[in-house]
Each structure stands twice: as C-alpha cells, then as structure tokens.
C-alpha cells in the first residue's frame, strides 16, 4: 500500500468523487453518473477521474453494448480497485466521517 | 434543437483533440457519450465548456509526471503509452503564456530602468523654436508723477479745504507753478436742530391728597416710605395708560396705595410742555407716605 492519500491531492472535489463511488464500491459509474451524484462540474470531474485512474485507485473500461441497438454511444465506466477502495476508506476514516458499508 | 447539440459536439471534439495523444480519442468518445446522456441545452453546453477546461487541466497533469505509487506509475504508463514520447515538456498554450509573460516583464523592466527614456533621448533633437521679440514703436513715456497726500484732514473750514486740495502733482523735472485753487469753497456750519424747551409734568391742581390713600393697615403699623410711579399723561392731563411702579417702597401696601392715588389723579395731572405747548408724555414722580403728628 505504501503511501495512501498522498498519491492524489485530496481536494474537496476529489472527496466528492470518492464518496460517489463508496456508496456502492462494486458499482461501475460513468462520468455523467458521478457528476450527478457529486454535483461536480465536468471541467473538474474528468481530470479527477483520470488522476485517480492513473494513480491506480480506479480502473475503467468501455461499456459492452451495441450502440446501434441501444440507440446511444457506449460509455466509459469507472470502478474502484481493491487498493483504491482501501485508500478511500482510510481517507474518509482519517477525516472522521466514516465509510459507507 | 439540433443546432446546440451540434455546437456542443463540435466543442467537445475540438477540446478532446487538444488533449494529449492517445487520450484524445478516448476522451472524445467518453465525453460525447456523456453528452448524449445529458438533457437540456444549458446542461449540454455546460458540459462542452467544462470539457474545454478539463482538457487544459489534463494537459497540465500529464505534462508533469505525477507522484504515484508503483501501481500508479504503471497505470499512467498504461494510460499514456507512447503519448509521453511525443508530448513536449511545454505545451503550445504554456509556451504562449510564457512568451506573453516574458514580453510584459521585459516591458516593465524597460520602463523601470529608464531604457525607454534613454531611447527617447537618443532621437534627433528637435531644434527649439526661435522666439523673436516683436519690436513696437516706443511711445513717449509720461513724466513720472509723485502724488503726495499731506494729511487726511476732514474739511471743516475753508483753510482745511485748501490744505486738502494742496496735492503736489507737478512732474519732478517741471518747475513749480501756481496751482489753480478754483472757486473758493466756504465751509458752512451744519444746520442746528431747533431747540425744544421741554418741561416735565406732574401732579397738578386738584390732585388728590396723599393722606387719603395712605393704607389704614400701614398707618396702624406705622409703615412709611416713598414709591416712584411711572404715569403716561395726555395733553389734557388724563392718564393714557395704567400707572406702574417704577421704584418700590419695599412695602406692598404702600405701593398699592401709590398706584391707587396715581389712578385717582387722572385728569388732574399737569401735562408736560414743549416750548410751552402741552404734549402727551410719560414721566415718573414720587409719592411719599409719612405719618404726621
């Protein structure tokens, strides 16, 4: 594990992103989903998602759908990694806010 | 409806193309997918503008390697792949900003150090305009005149008037000549106001007896004193107003008796006269109450 929260600067916006994922740690969320839950601007959200992915907190993949059949483009889905979940839990524990079950 | 969607799509596509290398295609597809999930013109345009901002932030993030754990470094390598190889240390935007900032710093330095001023002084000097003095024909100057006022004497007599008029207006280089005095001024005394001989009035013939108005209580208590009463009397010797106490005797009862006497004497006052003619006037007179044996 080594360094935990020092990998990524823990701004309020970053905490909101993590909080959105910690509501259901196994869920995969697209950027638009995180934006709705965290009330974040797109200019802030996407750089945070990329930073967290680069730092190994998240993994991402393309949605496996047939766009022609569904009628919409495929989305990029993000998910917490086990190490990302542990780090995020530690971050929130250090703030004394508790971690959702 | 479709126009704003097209606009938002174009904005996102152009923003994504400015992102670093391999990320461009991924971000474009991701953002366009999120755009499709949005509803509402404003929300879509906000997303598109936000993507422009995100591109700048992402570009800066990936221009400077992040401090990451070993897993993070691996993730960055996986994300960027060959991107780092062709991605310059300074982006075009950063270079432009640095150039503009440098130009401004140079300009400020030039102004502060006086380089600009020295440059200005090195310019060819403009010959100063020659000012020629206009020569005007000399007019003969009048001889200097000294004015001496001897003394501020109020003219009351003929001699004073002549002294006041004795100004020395002769030019210095001119011989003294007789100053015409003009018509002789004769001082006359101001007209004297007519003298009015005034004789003040007082109690006259038939005026009531003082003893008749001596208050009985004061008589029993042996109170004595003098009260000065101010009365206004017309030309006929009648009171034209109520008399008042001008100076009290110090005993209220005696003052009241004096006022009663003054009122009772109306019609029996001797009016004041001016040059022998009776006139209305106000005057004080004293009433003395004293006990007789």
Residues of B in contact with A11 (CB under 8 A): none
Q: Which residue do the tokens 């004795």 mark?
A: B166
Measure the CA–CA gap between B41 and B8, rounded to whole angstroms.
9
pLDDT recorded at residue B143: 55
Please name the member of A3, A6, A55 whose beta carbon is closest to the beta carbon of B75.
A55
pLDDT of residue B172: 47
User: Rounded to an integer, what distance in angstroms lies between the CA atom of residue A59 and that of residue B143?
Assistant: 112
A-contacting residues in B 75-94 (Cβ below 8 Å): 75-76, 79
B150/A83 Cα distance (integer angstroms): 117
Give B189 or A39, the one with higher predicted confidence. A39
Determine the distance in angstroms separating the CA of A68 from the nearest CA of chain B, rounded to an integer: 13
Give the C-alpha separation, A18 to B53, whole Å.
21
User: At residue A11, does pLDDT exceed 90?
Assistant: no
- Choice between A12 and B81, residue whose per-residue pLDDT is larger: A12
Question: A44, A46, A57, A77: which to substitute to probe chain B, counting the most B Cβ within 10 Å?
Answer: A46
Which H or E run contains B169?
none
The angle at the Cα of B61, spanning B55 to B67, to the nearest 5 degrees, equals 160
Among B29, B75, B84, the strongest candidate for a mutation testing the A interface, having the largest count of A CBs within 10 A, is B75
Identify the segments of chain B with pLDDT beneath 50: 66-72, 75, 81-88, 147, 149-153, 155, 161, 164-179
Does A24 lie at the interface with B, CB-CB under 8 angstroms?
no
- Point out the residue among A41, A53, A76 whose CB comes nearest to the CB of B75: A53
Phi and psi, residue B212, nearest 5°: -70, -15
Looking at residue B166, its pLDDT comes to 47
Tokens 């904005």 — which residue? Answer: B11
- Interface check B12 vs A, CB under 8 A: no
Asked if B42 has any chain A CB less than 8 Å from its own CB, the reply is no
Query: Cα–Cα distance between B38 and B9 in angstroms, integer?
Result: 12
- Which residues does chain A have within 8 Å of residue B23's beta carbon, measured at their own beta carbons? 50
- pLDDT, one tens digit per residue, over A40-92 is 888 999 999 999 999 999 999 999 988 889 888 999 999 999 999 999 988 88
A-chain residue closest to B59, CA distance: A47
Could you tell me if the ipTM is greater than 0.85?
Answer: no
Gap between the Cα atoms of A30 and B29, Å rounded: 12
Q: Looking at beta carbons, which residues of chain A come within 8 Å of B52?
A: 43
Q: Hey, what's the torsion of the CAs at B108, B109, B115, B116, to 10 degrees?
A: -10
Give residues with Cβ within 8 angstroms of B42, minimum separation 6: none
Query: What pLDDT, in 10s, does the model give residues B125-180?
Result: 555 555 555 556 566 565 555 545 444 445 455 555 455 444 444 444 444 444 45
Q: Is a pLDDT exceeding 70 seen at residue A4?
A: no
For the sheet with B225-233, list strands across it.
B244-247, B225-233, B281-289
Minimum-distance CB partner of B50 among A41, A73, A74: A41
Contact B34 A75 (CB under 8 A): yes
pLDDT at B67: 43
The upper half-sphere exposure of residue B75, i.e. CA atoms within 13 Å in the direction of its Cβ, equals 23
Residue of A nearest to B54 (CA): A43
Considering only alpha carbons, which residue of chain B is nearest residue A44? B54
**Least CB-CB distance to B66: which of A43, A55, A76?**
A55
The tokens of B189 are what? Answer: 């005394």
Spatial distance between the Cα atoms of B64 and A55, rounded to a whole number of angstroms: 14
User: Does A17 lie at the interface with B, CB-CB under 8 angstroms?
Assistant: no
CA distance A99 to B37: 29
Nearest to B145 by CA among B123, B167, B165: B167
From the CA of A50, how many Å to the nearest CA of chain B? 8
Angstrom distance (rounded) from CA B8 to CA B10: 5
pLDDT at B9: 86
**pLDDT of amino acid B84:** 43
CB contact (8 A) between residue B57 and residue A6: no
Q: Is B31 on the interface with A (CB under 8 A)?
A: yes
Q: What is the pLDDT of residue B19?
A: 85
Which pTM was predicted? 0.42
User: CB–CB of A2 and B69 under 8 A?
Assistant: yes
Are the C-beta atoms of B227 and B245 separated by less than 8 Å?
yes
Q: List the single best residue of B20, B72, B84 to mutate versus A (max A Cβ within 10 A).
A: B72
């Amino acid at each position: 594990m080594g360094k935990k929260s020092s990998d990524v600067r823990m701004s309020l916006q970053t905490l909101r992103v993590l909080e959105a994922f910690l509501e259901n740690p196994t869920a995969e969320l697209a950027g638009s989903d995180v934006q709705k839950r965290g009330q974040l601007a797109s200019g802030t959200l996407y750089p945070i998602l990329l930073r967290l992915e680069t730092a190994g907190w998240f993994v991402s993949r393309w949605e496996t759908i047939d766009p022609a059949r569904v009628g919409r483009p495929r989305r990029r889905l993000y998910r917490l990694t086990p190490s990302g979940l542990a780090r995020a839990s530690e971050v929130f524990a250090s703030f004394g806010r508790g971690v959702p079950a | 409806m479709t126009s704003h969607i097209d606009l938002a799509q174009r904005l996102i596509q152009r923003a994504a193309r400015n992102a670093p290398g391999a990320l461009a295609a991924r971000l474009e597809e991701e953002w366009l997918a999120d755009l499709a999930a949005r509803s509402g013109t404003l929300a879509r345009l906000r997303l598109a503008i936000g993507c422009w901002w995100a591109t700048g932030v992402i570009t800066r993030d990936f221009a400077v390697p992040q401090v990451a754990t070993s897993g993070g470094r691996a993730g960055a390598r996986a994300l960027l792949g060959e991107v780092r190889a062709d991605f310059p240390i300074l982006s075009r935007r950063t270079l432009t900003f640095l150039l503009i900032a440098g130009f401004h710093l140079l300009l400020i330095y030039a102004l502060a150090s006086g380089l600009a001023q020295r440059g200005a002084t090195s310019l060819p000097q403009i010959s100063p305009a020659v000012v020629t003095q206009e020569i005007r024909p000399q007019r003969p100057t009048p001889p200097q005149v000294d004015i001496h006022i001897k003394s501020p004497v109020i003219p009351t007599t003929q001699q004073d008037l002549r002294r006041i008029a004795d100004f020395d207006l002769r030019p210095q280089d001119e011989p003294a000549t007789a100053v015409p005095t003009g018509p002789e001024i004769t001082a006359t005394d101001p007209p004297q106001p007519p003298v009015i001989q005034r004789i003040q009035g007082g109690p006259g013939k038939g005026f009531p007896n003082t003893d008749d108005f001596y208050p009985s209580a004061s008589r029993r208590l042996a109170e004595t004193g003098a009260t000065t009463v101010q009365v206004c009397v017309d030309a006929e010797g009648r009171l034209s107003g109520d008399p008042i106490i001008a100076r009290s005797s110090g005993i209220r009862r005696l003052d009241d008796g004096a006022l009663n006497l003054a009122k009772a004497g109306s019609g029996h006052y001797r009016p004041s006269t001016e040059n022998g003619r009776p006139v209305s006037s106000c005057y004080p007179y004293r009433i003395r109450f004293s006990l007789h044996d």
